Amino acid sequence: MEKRTPDSGEDARLGFFGRLVDKGYNLMDHTMIRWTVYAVLIAAAASVPMFANNYVLNVLWNAMFYMLLCIGLNVILGYCGLFDLGYAAKFAIGAYTTGILIKTCGWSFWLTLPASIFVSIIAACIIGLPTVRLRSDYLAIVTLGFGEIVRITARNLNITGSATGLIAIPRPYFLGIHLRRIHHWYYVFLVLVILFIIVSSRIKNSRFGRALEYIREDEDAAQAMGIDTAKYRLFAFIMGTVLGGIAGSFYAVQKTAISPDSFPFTESANILLGVVLGGMGKIPGVILGAAFFAIFPEMIRDVPFIGNTRMLFFGLLLILVMINRPQGLWPERKR
């Protein structure tokens, strides 16, 4: 019998980037190396405002905002396999809850965060309870409709500012510091990304996360093993919605103005693209996909012969990436 070498055909299929990712997995198995890498990355990110201008900080802030949204969607799509095409509605709910409570009721921003979480849970239950038993394209259509319902409702209610939206939302104070400069918000969102990563990692490595993985891989087999698939799918939907609502609350006070045009279907598609591009279910992949999506178009903005058609060029590049890396830039580890 011919002996099969594990590095021959497998390495050819993985390619250079795949082998690089596998080596990264092997290195991160060592605790000391893993924590050293984390410390270096955080220190490097924290030092960026010391030498970057406001334009660069704005681009990086936008990238971190997409990271928050992609991490939230990853709980729904990457962990549980639920196709959500209306994720923009999740952070719209948080943004409008915070904006309304600050503008209409005079609440402090920090007090609106628990309210935003509560409203996000209610909204997730309203859309999740009737639809948790739906699968694939049926669920995608329902979530798409929910996203449009939220946007159209916000356009037609007086409390949300109708089509004009809410403007002049005051920015908050933190420990006596008025968060009004871009480097303030850079650090705020850097802390949020770290917190979201910790929460998402805890979910993934918990019993709850393992149940979601079983449901994603084979829902019928998971149900046969005794897992209440409807309950766990609803919990995943709630958790992803809460993360999106928190991100939306911070988005509202950073932008100081929100309107229905801030939450179109294209935003949901962009968030979904970041998750799929990076690698569904893998936190580093989701972060890499969100960063790639937000930063790369800005990098080629001033390139001759490309700047005016940069989004077309970016779309072609995405097609090439997905053809050559259908599992994403940083997929789950192959065991």
Confidence tier at 305 by pLDDT (50, 70, 90): low
Closest CA to 52 of 178, 192, 193, 181: 181
**Residue 306 above 70 pLDDT?**
no
- Confidence (pLDDT) at 308: 65
**Residue 69 above 90 pLDDT?**
yes
pLDDT digits (tens, 9 = 90+) for 105-118: 889 999 999 999 99
Most confident of 3-17, 93-107, 213-227, 306-320: 93-107
Radius of gyration of the chain (CA): 21
User: DSSP secondary structure string, 35-73?
Assistant: HHHHHHHHHHHHHGGGT--HHHHHHHHHHHHHHHHHHHH
C-alpha to C-alpha distance for 25 and 27, rounded to whole angstroms: 5
pLDDT digits (tens, 9 = 90+) for 132-189: 777 667 888 888 888 889 899 989 988 888 888 898 899 999 888 899 899 999 999 9
C-alpha to C-alpha distance for 130 and 298, rounded to whole angstroms: 41
pLDDT digits (tens, 9 = 90+) for 242-290: 999 999 999 999 999 899 988 888 888 889 888 888 888 888 889 988 9
- Confidence (pLDDT) at 136: 67
C-alpha to C-alpha distance for 163 and 199, rounded to whole angstroms: 35
Domain ranges of the chain: 14-51, 54-265
C-alpha to C-alpha distance for 169 and 180, rounded to whole angstroms: 12
Identify the three-state secondary structure at position 302: coil
pLDDT digits (tens, 9 = 90+) for 322-334: 787 777 777 666 5
C-alpha to C-alpha distance for 89 and 173, rounded to whole angstroms: 27
Percent above pLDDT 90 for the chain? 32
- Confidence (pLDDT) at 2: 44
In the chain, the largest separation of any two C-alpha atoms, in whole Å, equals 77
Task: For residue 291, give the H/E element and its range.
Answer: helix 283-299
Q: pTM to 2 decimals?
A: 0.88
Answer whether 120's CB lies under 8 Å from 247's CB: no
Mean pLDDT over 61-66 rounds to: 94
